[in-house]
Amino acid sequence: MSEMKPTQPTQPATAEDNAARESLIELAGNDGFAPMRWLDRFSKEVSLSVRSDQVREAIRSGSRTLVVREGRDVLGGIVWRAVPDLAEHFDVPVHEVVAVLADPAADRHPVVADLLGALRSEPAGDSGGFVMLRIEADDVAGLAGATDAGFRLLSTSFSLVNDLERRHLNPAHDAPGMSIHRFADGPLPDGMYSVLRSAPTPLVDDHYHADPRLDNKRCDALYDRKRERVLAGIGADVMVYREIEGTITGFGTFKRATDVEPYGIALLDGSFGYRPPGAPAGHGGAAAAFMCNESLLDNRFVEWDTQATNYGMVNMLTGRPSIRLVRSSYILRCWTDKL
Protein backbone atom coordinates (compact mmCIF):
# COMPACT_ATOMS: atom_id res chain seq x y z
CA MET A 1 0.00 0.00 0.00
CA SER A 2 1.19 3.52 -0.68
CA GLU A 3 2.27 5.72 2.20
CA MET A 4 -0.51 8.04 3.32
CA LYS A 5 -0.56 11.18 5.37
CA PRO A 6 -3.08 11.50 8.19
CA THR A 7 -6.37 12.35 6.51
CA GLN A 8 -10.12 12.26 6.81
CA PRO A 9 -11.61 9.26 4.98
CA THR A 10 -13.12 10.36 1.66
CA GLN A 11 -15.33 7.33 0.97
CA PRO A 12 -18.01 5.75 3.14
CA ALA A 13 -17.39 2.43 4.82
CA THR A 14 -18.41 -0.45 2.56
CA ALA A 15 -18.32 -4.23 2.47
CA GLU A 16 -15.45 -5.24 0.24
CA ASP A 17 -13.92 -7.90 -1.98
CA ASN A 18 -11.06 -10.34 -1.48
CA ALA A 19 -8.40 -7.74 -2.30
CA ALA A 20 -9.69 -5.45 0.44
CA ARG A 21 -9.81 -8.34 2.88
CA GLU A 22 -6.17 -9.09 2.12
CA SER A 23 -5.45 -5.44 2.89
CA LEU A 24 -7.08 -5.93 6.29
CA ILE A 25 -4.82 -8.89 7.00
CA GLU A 26 -1.87 -6.70 6.02
CA LEU A 27 -3.08 -3.94 8.35
CA ALA A 28 -3.33 -6.48 11.17
CA GLY A 29 0.39 -7.12 10.71
CA ASN A 30 1.05 -3.43 11.42
CA ASP A 31 -1.50 -2.99 14.19
CA GLY A 32 -0.19 -0.59 16.81
CA PHE A 33 -2.83 -1.89 19.24
CA ALA A 34 -2.46 -5.65 18.87
CA PRO A 35 -4.16 -7.15 21.95
CA MET A 36 -1.33 -9.60 22.71
CA ARG A 37 1.57 -7.18 22.54
CA TRP A 38 2.94 -8.59 25.78
CA LEU A 39 4.08 -11.65 23.80
CA ASP A 40 6.70 -9.49 22.11
CA ARG A 41 8.70 -9.57 25.36
CA PHE A 42 9.41 -13.21 24.60
CA SER A 43 9.36 -13.47 20.81
CA LYS A 44 9.98 -10.46 18.57
CA GLU A 45 6.81 -9.10 16.90
CA VAL A 46 4.97 -12.38 17.44
CA SER A 47 1.85 -10.43 18.44
CA LEU A 48 1.55 -9.03 14.92
CA SER A 49 1.77 -12.50 13.41
CA VAL A 50 -0.85 -13.74 15.84
CA ARG A 51 -3.09 -10.77 15.01
CA SER A 52 -2.76 -11.29 11.25
CA ASP A 53 -3.53 -14.98 11.56
CA GLN A 54 -6.53 -14.29 13.80
CA VAL A 55 -7.96 -11.81 11.28
CA ARG A 56 -7.26 -14.20 8.40
CA GLU A 57 -8.99 -17.06 10.19
CA ALA A 58 -11.97 -14.89 11.14
CA ILE A 59 -12.44 -13.85 7.51
CA ARG A 60 -11.96 -17.42 6.28
CA SER A 61 -14.59 -18.69 8.69
CA GLY A 62 -17.24 -16.26 7.48
CA SER A 63 -16.81 -13.08 9.52
CA ARG A 64 -17.91 -9.98 7.64
CA THR A 65 -15.83 -6.91 6.86
CA LEU A 66 -16.22 -3.20 6.31
CA VAL A 67 -13.48 -0.92 4.98
CA VAL A 68 -12.82 2.78 4.50
CA ARG A 69 -10.82 3.85 1.46
CA GLU A 70 -9.01 6.92 0.23
CA GLY A 71 -8.84 6.51 -3.48
CA ARG A 72 -7.73 2.93 -4.01
CA ASP A 73 -5.99 2.66 -0.65
CA VAL A 74 -7.65 0.97 2.32
CA LEU A 75 -7.34 3.32 5.30
CA GLY A 76 -8.90 0.93 7.75
CA GLY A 77 -11.45 -1.74 8.33
CA ILE A 78 -13.31 -3.84 10.84
CA VAL A 79 -14.00 -7.55 11.02
CA TRP A 80 -17.23 -8.54 12.79
CA ARG A 81 -19.43 -11.58 13.26
CA ALA A 82 -22.67 -12.78 14.76
CA VAL A 83 -22.70 -14.49 18.16
CA PRO A 84 -25.66 -16.90 17.82
CA ASP A 85 -25.21 -18.41 21.28
CA LEU A 86 -25.63 -15.04 23.00
CA ALA A 87 -28.40 -14.04 20.58
CA GLU A 88 -30.39 -17.10 21.58
CA HIS A 89 -29.75 -16.46 25.26
CA PHE A 90 -30.79 -12.78 25.24
CA ASP A 91 -33.37 -13.19 22.47
CA VAL A 92 -31.95 -10.29 20.43
CA PRO A 93 -29.39 -10.18 17.60
CA VAL A 94 -25.87 -10.04 19.04
CA HIS A 95 -22.66 -9.29 17.13
CA GLU A 96 -19.07 -8.69 18.14
CA VAL A 97 -16.23 -6.79 16.52
CA VAL A 98 -13.26 -9.10 16.06
CA ALA A 99 -10.79 -6.40 15.01
CA VAL A 100 -10.65 -2.65 14.46
CA LEU A 101 -7.77 -1.82 12.13
CA ALA A 102 -6.36 1.42 10.71
CA ASP A 103 -3.34 2.27 8.65
CA PRO A 104 -0.72 3.80 10.98
CA ALA A 105 -0.45 6.80 8.62
CA ALA A 106 -4.19 7.51 8.69
CA ASP A 107 -6.10 9.54 11.26
CA ARG A 108 -7.44 6.71 13.41
CA HIS A 109 -10.23 8.69 15.09
CA PRO A 110 -12.39 9.45 12.02
CA VAL A 111 -11.54 6.09 10.42
CA VAL A 112 -12.87 4.20 13.44
CA ALA A 113 -15.88 6.51 13.77
CA ASP A 114 -16.84 5.99 10.10
CA LEU A 115 -16.41 2.22 10.30
CA LEU A 116 -18.40 1.73 13.49
CA GLY A 117 -21.03 4.22 12.40
CA ALA A 118 -21.57 2.18 9.23
CA LEU A 119 -21.60 -1.06 11.21
CA ARG A 120 -24.56 0.08 13.32
CA SER A 121 -26.92 -0.17 10.35
CA GLU A 122 -25.50 -3.45 9.08
CA PRO A 123 -26.30 -6.35 11.45
CA ALA A 124 -29.65 -5.75 13.06
CA GLY A 125 -31.22 -2.51 11.93
CA ASP A 126 -34.34 -1.70 13.94
CA SER A 127 -34.63 -5.10 15.59
CA GLY A 128 -32.88 -3.91 18.75
CA GLY A 129 -29.74 -6.03 18.74
CA PHE A 130 -26.41 -4.94 20.12
CA VAL A 131 -22.78 -4.96 19.02
CA MET A 132 -19.91 -5.57 21.46
CA LEU A 133 -16.46 -4.06 21.06
CA ARG A 134 -13.21 -4.32 23.00
CA ILE A 135 -10.67 -1.49 22.66
CA GLU A 136 -7.21 -1.25 24.17
CA ALA A 137 -6.92 1.33 26.94
CA ASP A 138 -4.10 3.18 25.17
CA ASP A 139 -6.07 3.39 21.92
CA VAL A 140 -7.35 6.88 22.73
CA ALA A 141 -8.23 7.69 19.12
CA GLY A 142 -10.08 4.40 18.69
CA LEU A 143 -12.05 4.98 21.88
CA ALA A 144 -12.98 8.49 20.75
CA GLY A 145 -14.07 7.18 17.35
CA ALA A 146 -16.17 4.44 18.93
CA THR A 147 -17.82 6.94 21.29
CA ASP A 148 -18.59 9.25 18.37
CA ALA A 149 -20.26 6.30 16.63
CA GLY A 150 -22.58 5.71 19.60
CA PHE A 151 -20.71 3.00 21.50
CA ARG A 152 -20.70 3.37 25.25
CA LEU A 153 -18.13 2.19 27.76
CA LEU A 154 -19.55 -0.42 30.15
CA SER A 155 -16.50 -1.89 31.89
CA THR A 156 -12.73 -1.89 32.13
CA SER A 157 -10.84 -5.16 32.00
CA PHE A 158 -7.37 -6.16 33.23
CA SER A 159 -5.30 -9.04 31.91
CA LEU A 160 -2.56 -10.40 34.17
CA VAL A 161 -0.11 -13.13 33.20
CA ASN A 162 1.92 -15.38 35.43
CA ASP A 163 5.31 -16.48 34.08
CA LEU A 164 6.57 -19.70 35.68
CA GLU A 165 10.13 -18.85 34.69
CA ARG A 166 9.91 -16.00 37.21
CA ARG A 167 8.47 -18.11 40.04
CA HIS A 168 11.80 -18.15 41.87
CA LEU A 169 11.10 -14.47 42.66
CA ASN A 170 7.90 -15.33 44.55
CA PRO A 171 7.68 -15.76 48.33
CA ALA A 172 7.85 -19.27 49.77
CA HIS A 173 5.09 -21.46 48.38
CA ASP A 174 2.57 -22.55 51.04
CA ALA A 175 -0.95 -23.33 49.79
CA PRO A 176 -2.62 -26.05 51.87
CA GLY A 177 -5.72 -27.68 50.44
CA MET A 178 -5.05 -26.80 46.82
CA SER A 179 -5.65 -29.47 44.16
CA ILE A 180 -5.72 -29.82 40.36
CA HIS A 181 -8.23 -31.68 38.23
CA ARG A 182 -7.30 -32.24 34.58
CA PHE A 183 -10.32 -32.94 32.40
CA ALA A 184 -8.26 -35.12 30.07
CA ASP A 185 -8.17 -37.60 32.97
CA GLY A 186 -11.97 -37.71 33.17
CA PRO A 187 -14.93 -35.66 34.45
CA LEU A 188 -15.24 -34.21 37.92
CA PRO A 189 -16.51 -36.64 40.55
CA ASP A 190 -20.31 -36.54 40.70
CA GLY A 191 -20.38 -35.14 44.24
CA MET A 192 -18.00 -32.30 43.45
CA TYR A 193 -19.85 -31.46 40.24
CA SER A 194 -23.20 -31.32 42.05
CA VAL A 195 -21.90 -29.09 44.83
CA LEU A 196 -20.19 -26.59 42.51
CA ARG A 197 -23.15 -26.25 40.17
CA SER A 198 -25.74 -25.92 42.93
CA ALA A 199 -25.02 -22.38 44.15
CA PRO A 200 -25.82 -19.27 42.04
CA THR A 201 -22.87 -17.61 40.35
CA PRO A 202 -22.20 -14.34 42.25
CA LEU A 203 -21.13 -12.16 39.31
CA VAL A 204 -22.93 -8.85 38.95
CA ASP A 205 -20.25 -6.22 38.25
CA ASP A 206 -19.71 -6.99 34.57
CA HIS A 207 -20.54 -5.45 31.21
CA TYR A 208 -23.73 -7.49 30.76
CA HIS A 209 -25.25 -6.47 34.10
CA ALA A 210 -24.06 -2.89 33.46
CA ASP A 211 -26.28 -2.64 30.38
CA PRO A 212 -29.69 -1.35 31.53
CA ARG A 213 -31.39 -2.92 28.51
CA LEU A 214 -30.39 -6.46 29.43
CA ASP A 215 -32.50 -8.35 31.92
CA ASN A 216 -30.53 -9.07 35.09
CA LYS A 217 -32.00 -12.54 35.46
CA ARG A 218 -30.77 -13.44 31.99
CA CYS A 219 -27.34 -12.02 32.85
CA ASP A 220 -27.26 -14.17 35.99
CA ALA A 221 -28.32 -17.21 33.96
CA LEU A 222 -25.54 -16.56 31.45
CA TYR A 223 -22.89 -17.08 34.13
CA ASP A 224 -24.73 -20.02 35.65
CA ARG A 225 -24.65 -21.66 32.22
CA LYS A 226 -20.98 -20.84 31.79
CA ARG A 227 -20.21 -22.39 35.18
CA GLU A 228 -22.09 -25.58 34.30
CA ARG A 229 -20.20 -25.90 31.04
CA VAL A 230 -16.71 -25.47 32.44
CA LEU A 231 -17.47 -27.86 35.30
CA ALA A 232 -18.34 -30.40 32.60
CA GLY A 233 -14.99 -29.70 30.90
CA ILE A 234 -16.55 -27.74 28.01
CA GLY A 235 -14.17 -24.89 27.25
CA ALA A 236 -11.87 -25.89 30.10
CA ASP A 237 -8.83 -28.16 30.22
CA VAL A 238 -7.94 -27.93 33.91
CA MET A 239 -9.52 -26.89 37.20
CA VAL A 240 -7.71 -25.66 40.31
CA TYR A 241 -9.61 -25.70 43.58
CA ARG A 242 -9.13 -25.48 47.33
CA GLU A 243 -10.81 -27.84 49.77
CA ILE A 244 -10.73 -27.31 53.54
CA GLU A 245 -12.36 -29.82 55.86
CA GLY A 246 -14.49 -31.16 53.04
CA THR A 247 -15.67 -27.72 51.82
CA ILE A 248 -14.56 -26.35 48.46
CA THR A 249 -13.76 -22.71 49.09
CA GLY A 250 -13.23 -21.68 45.46
CA PHE A 251 -12.14 -22.85 42.03
CA GLY A 252 -10.76 -21.62 38.73
CA THR A 253 -10.80 -23.27 35.32
CA PHE A 254 -8.35 -22.70 32.48
CA LYS A 255 -8.08 -23.66 28.81
CA ARG A 256 -5.19 -23.96 26.38
CA ALA A 257 -4.65 -20.93 24.15
CA THR A 258 -4.44 -22.96 20.96
CA ASP A 259 -4.09 -19.89 18.73
CA VAL A 260 -0.60 -19.18 20.09
CA GLU A 261 0.61 -22.79 20.25
CA PRO A 262 1.93 -22.65 16.64
CA TYR A 263 4.35 -19.94 17.82
CA GLY A 264 5.76 -22.12 20.56
CA ILE A 265 3.97 -20.29 23.39
CA ALA A 266 2.54 -22.47 26.17
CA LEU A 267 -0.30 -20.34 27.51
CA LEU A 268 -3.46 -21.06 29.49
CA ASP A 269 -6.35 -18.59 29.38
CA GLY A 270 -8.66 -18.18 32.33
CA SER A 271 -11.96 -19.89 31.56
CA PHE A 272 -14.15 -19.28 34.62
CA GLY A 273 -13.97 -19.40 38.40
CA TYR A 274 -15.22 -17.95 41.65
CA ARG A 275 -15.55 -18.36 45.41
CA PRO A 276 -18.94 -19.95 46.16
CA PRO A 277 -21.31 -17.90 48.34
CA GLY A 278 -20.77 -18.60 52.01
CA ALA A 279 -17.39 -20.24 51.53
CA PRO A 280 -14.82 -19.34 54.19
CA ALA A 281 -12.40 -16.53 53.42
CA GLY A 282 -8.78 -17.14 52.57
CA HIS A 283 -9.09 -18.92 49.24
CA GLY A 284 -7.51 -16.13 47.22
CA GLY A 285 -4.04 -16.02 48.74
CA ALA A 286 -3.61 -19.79 48.69
CA ALA A 287 -4.88 -20.04 45.11
CA ALA A 288 -2.52 -17.31 43.90
CA ALA A 289 0.46 -18.87 45.69
CA PHE A 290 -0.32 -22.27 44.17
CA MET A 291 -1.05 -21.16 40.60
CA CYS A 292 1.96 -18.85 40.48
CA ASN A 293 4.33 -21.67 41.36
CA GLU A 294 2.84 -24.85 39.85
CA SER A 295 2.47 -25.83 36.22
CA LEU A 296 -1.19 -26.62 35.62
CA LEU A 297 -0.55 -28.44 32.35
CA ASP A 298 2.55 -28.06 30.19
CA ASN A 299 2.22 -24.29 30.33
CA ARG A 300 4.71 -21.55 30.96
CA PHE A 301 2.11 -18.76 31.15
CA VAL A 302 -1.31 -18.46 32.78
CA GLU A 303 -3.51 -15.49 31.94
CA TRP A 304 -6.30 -14.11 34.10
CA ASP A 305 -8.78 -11.65 32.61
CA THR A 306 -10.91 -9.82 35.15
CA GLN A 307 -12.96 -6.67 35.61
CA ALA A 308 -11.01 -3.79 37.12
CA THR A 309 -13.72 -3.58 39.78
CA ASN A 310 -13.04 -7.17 40.89
CA TYR A 311 -10.78 -5.99 43.68
CA GLY A 312 -10.49 -9.40 45.28
CA MET A 313 -9.05 -10.96 42.12
CA VAL A 314 -6.77 -8.01 41.39
CA ASN A 315 -5.39 -8.01 44.95
CA MET A 316 -4.97 -11.79 44.86
CA LEU A 317 -2.79 -11.64 41.79
CA THR A 318 -0.76 -8.44 41.82
CA GLY A 319 1.38 -9.26 44.86
CA ARG A 320 3.51 -11.95 43.15
CA PRO A 321 6.68 -10.92 41.27
CA SER A 322 6.02 -13.65 38.68
CA ILE A 323 2.87 -11.82 37.55
CA ARG A 324 2.67 -8.92 35.13
CA LEU A 325 -0.25 -6.68 34.27
CA VAL A 326 -0.09 -7.02 30.48
CA ARG A 327 -3.28 -5.49 29.16
CA SER A 328 -5.95 -2.96 30.05
CA SER A 329 -8.97 -2.69 27.79
CA TYR A 330 -12.45 -1.26 27.58
CA ILE A 331 -15.64 -3.16 26.82
CA LEU A 332 -18.12 -1.07 24.84
CA ARG A 333 -21.58 -1.75 23.49
CA CYS A 334 -23.97 -0.17 21.05
CA TRP A 335 -27.64 -0.99 20.46
CA THR A 336 -28.31 -0.76 16.75
CA ASP A 337 -31.81 0.67 17.11
CA LYS A 338 -30.66 3.56 19.29
CA LEU A 339 -29.51 6.02 16.67
CATH class of the domain defined by 160-326: alpha beta
110 pLDDT above the threshold of 70: yes
The type of residue at 237 is D
Residue type, 52: S
pLDDT band at 14 (very low <50, low <70, confident <90, very high): low
Domain assignments of the chain as residue spans, ordered by start? 18-150, 160-326
Domain 18-150: what homologous superfamily? Gcn5-related N-acetyltransferase (GNAT) (3.40.630.30)
- The distance between the two most distant Cα atoms of the chain, rounded to a whole number of Å, is 70
Quickly count: other Cβ atoms within 10 Å of residue 265's Cβ: 18
pLDDT value at 25 more than 80: yes
* Stretch 274-285: mean pLDDT: 68
- 237, pLDDT greater than 90: yes
Give tens-digit pLDDT for 47-57. Answer: 999 999 999 99
Confidence class for position 4, pLDDT limits 50, 70, 90:
very low
Q: Place 172 in a pLDDT band, splitting at 50, 70 and 90.
A: confident
Amino acid at residue number 264:
G
Share of the chain above pLDDT 90, in %: 65
- Cβ count near 17 (within 10 Å): 10
Give me the long-range contacts of 99-102 (CB less than 8 A, separation at least 24): 99/24, 99/28, 99/31, 99/51, 99/54, 99/55, 99/58, 100/76, 100/133, 100/135, 100/142, 100/146, 101/24, 101/27, 101/28, 101/31, 101/55, 101/76, 101/77, 102/27, 102/75, 102/76, 102/142
The amino acid that residue 155 corresponds to is: S
In this model, does residue 7 exceed pLDDT 50? Answer: no
Shared fold status for 18-150 and 160-326: yes
Instruction: Tell me the average pLDDT across 26-38.
Output: 92
pLDDT in tens, 132-163: 999 999 999 999 999 999 999 999 999 999 99
Q: How far is CA 48 from CA 7, 40, 77, 267, in A?
A: 24, 9, 16, 17
Q: What is the pLDDT of residues 84-108, one digit of tens each?
A: 999 999 999 999 999 999 999 999 9
Burial class (CB within 10 angstroms; exposed 0-12, middle 13-18, buried 19+) of 292? buried
